[in-house]
Amino acid sequence: MAVGISAAASWSPGALAFGPSGHRVAGHIAERHLCTGTRIALAPLLAGKTLADAGLWPDTIRRQPGWEHTRPWHFINVADRGSVARAARKDADNVLAALARFEQELGDESLATRRRGIALRFVVHFVADLHQPLHVGRAEDRGGNLIPVLAGARETNLHALWDGEPLRLPGGPGPRERARSLPGPEPDEARRWQAASPADWARESQALRRQVYGFRRGQDPTALPAAYLAEARSTVDRRLVQAGVRLAGRLNALLGPGSPCPGEVASGQSNL
């Protein structure tokens, strides 16, 4: 890292990308799938916070002096038919490389608790970012940031739309309630999700481009059809569930006994 870990002496939840609500949803879902040993190992690293809180911190600091270098860590640019692996090798400043680096730090018990706690916050955040389709984006439109759209009466851009905040319905449930309401996978499907690698998650996001760009672009900003928005909500919900389940799997492997939890059933009640 280009800045000392001590630069993050404090952290607090903020409001930036999947959107703050989406990151919280993924964190709440992950908490339901943690093994008991993982929860114990996480406690000193979270310092009284939850995974839902922890995932917000990397967005709050990336525009702060000394942390601007972290901005490229949130995404990877891949052409429509390009290779995720080749793109990752071409430029080491990307979300896949950053996730691998911070997973290694998180799992290294010889490091100070503060440093591992910061690594945890990056891991929680980047797992969710990889599931947002436009964090595996086209360089030419900056992952959809350069495409203005209308979601109902709200003017936004395509990337922000898929971060999820413009898709939220007025008066809808908060992140904790939303996490409770989203259907989870069956155990076999959860195991398949957790067996996939971060590069696989990135390829899934890349494969969603047909849907993401599946509207006729008109005069900017383009008004998106109601059917497009409804399908986008459904896809975002599924990606958040996948992110939460997979985050738990990574944390169980790094800090606990692995997944599934031997001798126990991961609770669906713990922190929700």
Query: How far apart, in whole angstroms, are the C-alpha atoms of residue 29 and residue 115?
Result: 25
Distance CA 191, CA 49 (A): 27
* Domain contains 218: yes
- In this prediction, residue 67 has a pLDDT band, given cuts at 50, 70 and 90, of very high
Residue 267 inside a domain? The answer is: no
Confidence label for 7 from pLDDT (cuts 50, 70 and 90): very low
Please enumerate in sequence order all residues whose Cβ is within 8 A of that of 228, keeping only pairs 6 or more positions apart, or say none.
214, 215
Gap between the Cα atoms of 118 and 11, Å rounded: 9
- d(CA 29, CA 25) in angstroms, rounded, equals 6
- CA–CA gap between residue 205 and residue 19 (Å, rounded): 16
What is the per-residue pLDDT for 202?
98
CA distance 164 to 81: 25
Evaluate if pTM is beyond 0.85: yes
**What is the residue-wise DSSP string for 244-272?**
HHHHHHHHHHHHSS-SSPTTS---SSTT-
Residue 249 lies in a domain: yes
Work out the mean pLDDT of the chain and round it to a whole number.
Answer: 89
Query: Is 9 a domain residue?
Result: no
Q: Is residue 167 scored above 70 in pLDDT?
A: yes
Q: pLDDT class for 257, splitting at 50, 70, 90? A: confident
What is the spatial distance between Cα 243 and Cα 31, in angstroms, rounded to a whole number?
Answer: 12
Q: Where in the sequence is the domain holding 226, given as residue range(s)?
A: 16-255
Q: What is the pLDDT of residue 250?
A: 97
What is the domain count for the chain? 1
Averaged pLDDT, 230-250? 97
- Residue 86, amino acid: R
Structure-derived torsion over alpha carbons of residues 207, 209, 211, 214, reported in degrees to the nearest 10: -150
Q: How far apart are CA 174 and CA 66, in angstroms?
A: 33
Residue for token digits 């945890």?
120
| 269 pLDDT tier (thresholds 50, 70, 90) | very low
Q: Residue 61 maps to which CATH number?
A: 1.10.575.10
Q: Which pLDDT tens digit goes with each residue over 13-59?
A: 222 347 899 999 999 999 999 999 999 999 999 999 999 999 999 99
Is residue 262 scored above 90 in pLDDT?
no
141 in a structural domain = yes
Tokens of 236: 């975002």
Q: Residue type for 251, please? A: L
> What is the predicted pLDDT for the residue at 24?
96
CA 58 to chain centre: 11
Over 50: is that where the pLDDT of 9 sits?
A: no
Q: Does residue 97 form part of some domain?
A: yes
DSSP letters of 52-95? Answer: HHHTTHHHHHTTSTT-GGGGGGG-EE--TT--HHHHHHH-SSSH
Is position 6 within any domain?
Answer: no
Structure tokens that stand for 138 in this block: 């086209």
Q: Distance (Å, rounded) from C-alpha 27 to C-alpha 241?
A: 10
Candidate from 6-15, 128-137, 145-154 with smallest mean pLDDT:
6-15
Spatial distance between the Cα atoms of 122 and 99, rounded to a whole number of angstroms: 7
Q: Give per-residue pLDDT as tens, 69-108.
A: 999 999 999 999 999 999 999 988 999 999 999 999 999 9
Q: Output the pLDDT for position 11.
A: 28
Q: What is the pLDDT of residue 264?
A: 72
* Cβ–Cβ < 8 Å for 28, 271: yes
Q: Is residue 156 part of a domain?
A: yes
